[in-house]
């Protein structure tokens, strides 16, 4: 992969943690890197200092379209929206897009790392990711936890050996470029071995062009799974339940006046059903099959009891 990027021109938008990590990654592969940020230099003193003597070109105070001249790849940090004029112009010119999460998954598959568990959702994903990591750690395996928490995972790949477990939290910002129409390289089969979507509720609508666009970014996680990957979905959340079952329940009408959302869920539901992948559901109050569920006293997986509710150390129904 190093020879593939040697001498190529990479433009990275955003000088925060992810942008700096991307710069280190591509410089290490022999690429020519330009880091651009909308903020002026005087507001970026710490970020610039952290680059040290990394051989990069800085373009600060804006994102002029001239940055695309000779550009082979445009990378976005997490806080950089995909509707910026420079991003739209890159798409128009056919310049591929990427971010640290997409590159991380592509590189993990290239190196044969994993198994990988990825967790997304509108709420609860940080807690869930942390708990899954702790459970794996307690079982005696070596585990690496990251994604939307901690340092950019692309900085840590050299510390991971094949067979070690990886647990990643993924936000809609990270997933929106897992898009075969815009992304650099193939995304087929690069996804996790276990993909969990906890819930989909209105969030980040200042960044995404409506609820359907937000959910669409989240569901990119399910569009790039390898064969045999397990899909985990909430049977409580109306949106993920619709994906799992292929239909609305009587108490779950389509989101008001959002036919784009309804069409999206039909598409994703058909995708999930057509994959014939292992599917695991979860519900805190009613039995679901196959999957984890609870009643007023016990928590189960299938017919097997796991523990009493009162034994949970984390308090609150939302932590069940």
In this predicted model, what pLDDT tens digit does every residue of 138-180 receive, in sequence order?
Answer: 999 999 999 878 889 999 999 999 999 999 999 998 999 999 9
pLDDT of residue 195: 97
DSSP assignment letter at 149: S
Domain with CATH 3.40.50.720 in the chain: 2-98
DSSP, collapsed to helix, strand or coil, labels residue 294 as strand
Q: Full-prediction pTM beyond 0.75? A: yes
Domain with CATH 3.40.1190.10 in the chain: 101-283
Share of the chain above pLDDT 70, in %: 92
- pLDDT tens for 226-277 read 999 999 999 999 899 989 886 555 555 555 446 788 888 888 988 888 888 8
Asked if residue 103 lies in contact with residue 176, where contact means CB atoms within 8 angstroms, the answer is: no
Number of residues that make up the chain: 320
Tell the residue number behind the tokens 């996804």, with chain if given: 191
- pLDDT tens for 40-71 read 999 999 999 999 999 999 999 999 999 999 99
Mean pLDDT along residues 183-196: 95
pLDDT of residue 189: 95
Which of these CATH numbers, 3.40.50.720, 3.30.70.100, 3.40.50.2000, 1.20.1050.140, describes 2-98?
Answer: 3.40.50.720
Provide the pLDDT confidence category of residue 1 given band limits of 50, 70 and 90: very low
More confident residue, 202 or 74: 74
Asked if residue 283 lies in contact with residue 293, where contact means CB atoms within 8 angstroms, the answer is: yes
* Those residues with Cβ within 8 angstroms of residue 77's Cβ, 6 or more apart along the chain or in another chain: 12, 13, 14, 15, 16, 17, 18, 19, 22, 99, 100
* Those residues with Cβ within 8 angstroms of residue 126's Cβ, 6 or more apart along the chain or in another chain: 148, 149, 169
More confident residue, 31 or 263: 31
Domain 101-283 has CATH 3.40.1190.10: yes
Farthest CA pair distance, the chain: 63
Provide the pLDDT confidence category of residue 316 given band limits of 50, 70 and 90: confident
Task: 308-317: list long-range contacts, CB under 8 Å, 24+ apart.
Answer: 314/127, 317/284
Task: Provide φ and ψ at 10, rounded to 5°.
Answer: -115, 125
């Amino acid at each position: 992969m190093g020879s593939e990027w040697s001498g190529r021109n990479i433009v990275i938008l955003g000088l925060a943690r992810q942008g700096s990590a991307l710069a280190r990654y591509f410089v290490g592969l022999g690429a020519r890197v330009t880091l651009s940020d909308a903020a002026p230099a005087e507001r970026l003193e710490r970020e610039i200092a952290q680059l040290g003597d990394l051989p990069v070109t800085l373009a600060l105070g804006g994102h002029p379209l001239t940055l695309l001249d000779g550009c082979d790849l445009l990378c976005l940090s997490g806080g950089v929206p995909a509707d910026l004029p420079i991003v739209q112009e890159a798409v128009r010119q056919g310049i591929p897009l990427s971010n640290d999460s997409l590159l991380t998954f592509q590189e993990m598959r290239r190196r044969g790392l994993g198994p990988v568990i990825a967790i997304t959702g509108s709420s609860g994903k940080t807690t869930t990711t942390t708990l899954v990591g702790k459970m794996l750690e307690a079982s005696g395996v070596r585990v690496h936890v990251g994604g939307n928490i901690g340092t950019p995972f692309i900085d840590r790949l050299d510390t991971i050996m094949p067979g070690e477990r990886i647990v990643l939290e993924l936000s809609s910002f990270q997933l929106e470029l897992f898009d075969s129409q815009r992304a650099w390289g193939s995304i087929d089969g690069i996804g996790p071995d276990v993909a969990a979507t906890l819930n989909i509720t209105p969030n980040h609508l200042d960044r995404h062009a409506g609820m359907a666009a937000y959910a669409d970014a989240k569901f990119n996680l399910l569009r790039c799974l390898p064969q045999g990957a397990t899909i985990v979905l909430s049977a409580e959340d109306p949106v993920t339940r619709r994906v799992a079952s292929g239909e609305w329940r009587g108490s779950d009408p389509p989101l008001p006046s959002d036919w784009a959302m309804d069409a999206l869920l039909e598409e994703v539901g058909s995708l999930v059903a057509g994959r014939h992948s292992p599917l695991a559901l979860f519900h805190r109050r009613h039995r679901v099959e196959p999957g984890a569920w609870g009643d007023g006293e016990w928590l189960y997986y299938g017919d097997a009891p796991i523990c009493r509710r009162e034994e949970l150390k984390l308090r609150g129904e939302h932590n069940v």
